[in-house]
Amino acid sequence: MNRKRPKPNAPQIERNLDRLGLFSIQARLGHTPSWQAAFVIGGRAVRVQGDSSRGRPHGADADLVLGLQQLFLQQGAPEDNWVHTSANALREASLMTKNGRAFHRMREGLLRIWSTGFIVTEGWRRPDGSAVRFNDAFRVIDQIRFWDQESMGDLPELVPDSTLSVRLGAPIAESLRAGFMHPLNRTVLERLEQPPSRALYRLSEAHRYDDEGTIRSSLTVNLMDWRAACGISSTDTDKIRRALDPAHQELMANNYLRDIHMTGRGQNTQFEYVYLTEADPDPGLVRLLREQGVGGPRAVQLARDHADRIHEAVEFLQHRRMAGGTPIRNPGGLLSDFLVNREKYEFDPGILAPQGERTVQSFLALERQREAERQAEQAAAAKREALSRLPSAEQWREERGALLLMLRRVLTGEELALLEAQAVAGTLLATELSSQATAARARGEWDGFVEGLRRRLRSGG
């Protein structure tokens, strides 16, 4: 049985859904059975293709997916990928207001999402210049079970308090289960009144994070690339700006954007989003967490939520290493668990006695601490297992930041290009390589690992 997880302090969003621009931010959209978009943002080239008998998901449909993700996590990320809830509970989790047509719109939105198949293509270049492309065909929702009723206007709507069951698509559920998320600011989400503003906020946040977890203080985007990512149907530059302007104004009014600079003309227009950064974490704390093996977006979230205890956590990790006993297989996971579940660990900063002077009481405390560490390691192992089931290119996308952080100083540019090409093609598996690299560092076998990796790259895997 899955253990229920505590309700997140901040809404968590799967990284790729918003970054890929699958849903249109427009509140109203004409019926289009198929569409495609290609764009480059932050150096990441993406091509998205969609097919749906009910038209492209848009507007508040993205709010429903956000709500489903929160409920999925609150219910312990069940292995069968089902979310069992009610229309009322989903409406609340989606931060949607209750009005006369809310449950009709929810019914239509869920069916629109269910009916849509996506093909996402991301491309790389091998060192010889030839192209290799990874294609992922999937649905965000695989199945829905619901009760509906006729409303006063003869429009079918969900029954508010009857059971509503939704099964997430396997790639989405596995990504959430493995922890590939970044946090959203609940205050900003609750203050934004219009679905296009909320959708643009999520899209902006998705591209604001880089692969190593750093949050940009500004983001520059080409107008036509941004149009494609936003799912705006018009290609007229004036209409694109007019479509974005209400969301821009609301994002600035709610202290998310400090300013928007526009340069260039026509299709060469560029937007620079300048963010309010007062609530951003100390970059020194993020760097400190990254050095201890914490993943990029997770390091940002921990530095923001637990800034006053980061140094204590690092000191705990140092003491744990000095205490001996079972080797720490996943120091980043242990440090994260210490910050989130502090009550599990008996540790007084600066007071831990040398091993020879421990009392029976301190020995028992250490045993309890190690049990907590074993639980944290089990959770980390489950996350690694979920990641290992993803396609090779998806594994590379998730592990890229951590691997480059470890290897960019010891491999040449040509070797790094070979690494990326082979990881995308599946000759090398990024998840396995990341675990091997972490273990080699912990055992003091780093030089041998790097040399072995060089031989594998030269031989083609």
What tokens appear for 225 in the block? 């690339």
The pTM assigned to this predicted structure is 0.61
CA distance 79 to 327: 30
Residue 187 exposure: Cα atoms within 13 Å on the Cβ side = 5
Given a cut of 70, the residues of the chain with pLDDT beneath it are 1-10, 122-133, 152-153, 211-213, 277-283, 296-297, 324-326, 349-381, 383-384, 405, 442, 461
Task: Give CA separation, 140 vs 23, 24, 207, 431, in Å.
Answer: 11, 15, 20, 24
pLDDT value of residue 1? 34
pLDDT value of residue 356? 44
CA distance 79 to 302: 26
pLDDT value of residue 363? 42
Backbone angles phi, psi at 266, to 5 degrees: 60, -140
DSSP 143-183: EEE--EEE-TTS-EEE-TTSEEEEEEPHHHHHHHHTT-EEE
Q: Which of 46, 71, 76 is nearest to 206 (CA)?
A: 46
pLDDT value of residue 111? 97
pLDDT value of residue 308? 82
Crossing angle (nearest 10°) for helices 430-443 and 392-407: 30
What tokens appear for 110 in the block? 């869920």
What percent of the chain shows pLDDT beyond 70?
Answer: 82
Task: Give CA separation, 339 vs 89, 200, 304, in Å.
Answer: 30, 31, 12
DSSP helix/strand/coil, 95: coil
Q: Residues 108-138: pLDDT tens digits? A: 999 999 999 999 886 555 556 666 667 788 9
Q: Residues 156-192: pLDDT tens digits? A: 999 999 999 999 999 899 888 877 777 888 888 888 9
Asked whether the beta carbons of 115 and 54 are under 8 A apart, the reply is yes
pLDDT value of residue 379? 66
pLDDT value of residue 152? 65
